[in-house]
Amino acid sequence: MSAGRGSAGVFRGVGPDGGPARARVLVIDNYDSFTYNLVQLLEELGAEVVVYRNDAIDVAGIAASGLTHLVVSPGPGGPREAGVSMEAIGAMHGVVPVLGVCLGHQAMSEVFGGRVGPAGRLMHGKASEVAHDGRGVFAGLPAQVVCGRYHSLAVPEGGLPEGFEVTARTEQGEIMGMRHRTEPTEGVQFHPESVLTPEGRAMLENFLRTPHRPHPTPLSHPTPPGGPGAPGEARGPA
């Protein structure tokens, strides 16, 4: 477990009444080297961050953790190989703000009935110009942002889940972001934590500014088949 800095002048999150409240972010680590880049940025922004690998916690453990925000990290493979990720997204949707990054974004699509397939172009360590809707994680950013991409799978055109809208696209029209229409559940195909995404820190700050409930209780949502991972201890930075 790692505690955020929370020092004076550092962002501490926004409570349901709009006042300051320290964000407690639970990050599901899909065995990816980028996970702790995400953790570092979230901590620098004043959040308290706890990290569990995708096979080291179940939904009950997530709900009992006191989280105010959930982040599902990038990782290898596809959504069905991401341990508790899909079940966690389904359970915490509408309870706390949820952000899926790369594999987390793809898992979010499948949870709600969308599709994931091979990307039109293999993108590993490449940057793309991305246009966005100026809301959610993109609030207050320039109309065009540069984003770092590391993926071979993607949510295809026409594969968006019901209830979601496209929030960002490349110049070639590739879907780079989606958001639920009524709940703060959002996914990005690119990596905001990458050095190839100059505005990534601002995106994560926007995510932390999403109002959260003081004592979240999971709702009942359909979850994919397969059991959750076994409970485990939070894992600090390597």
Q: Which of 110, 186, 193, 205 is catalytic?
A: 193
Specify whether 147 is catalytic: no
Buried b or exposed e, range 72-87, using 16+ CB within 10 angstroms: bbbbeeebeebbbbbb
Neighbouring CB atoms inside 10 A of 238's CB total: 8
- What is the C-alpha to C-alpha distance for residues 61 and 233, in angstroms, rounded to an integer? 10
Q: How many CA atoms are closer than 13 Å to the CA of 95, on its beta-carbon side?
A: 21
Q: Which amino acid, one-letter code, is at 19?
A: G
Coil, helix or strand at residue 50: strand
Q: Which of 93, 102, 199, 212 is catalytic?
A: 102
Specify whether 43 is catalytic: no
- What is the C-alpha to C-alpha distance for residues 145 and 171, in angstroms, rounded to an integer? 11
Specify whether 191 is catalytic: yes
Q: Which of 105, 191, 205, 212 is catalytic?
A: 191
Write out 119-188 in H/E/C secondary structure: EEEEEEEEEEEEEECCCHHHCCCCCEEEEEEEEEEECCCCCCCCCEEEEEEECCCCEEEEEECCCCEEEE
- What is the C-alpha to C-alpha distance for residues 66 and 171, in angstroms, rounded to an integer? 40
Coil, helix or strand at residue 23: coil
- Active-site positions read 102, 191, 193
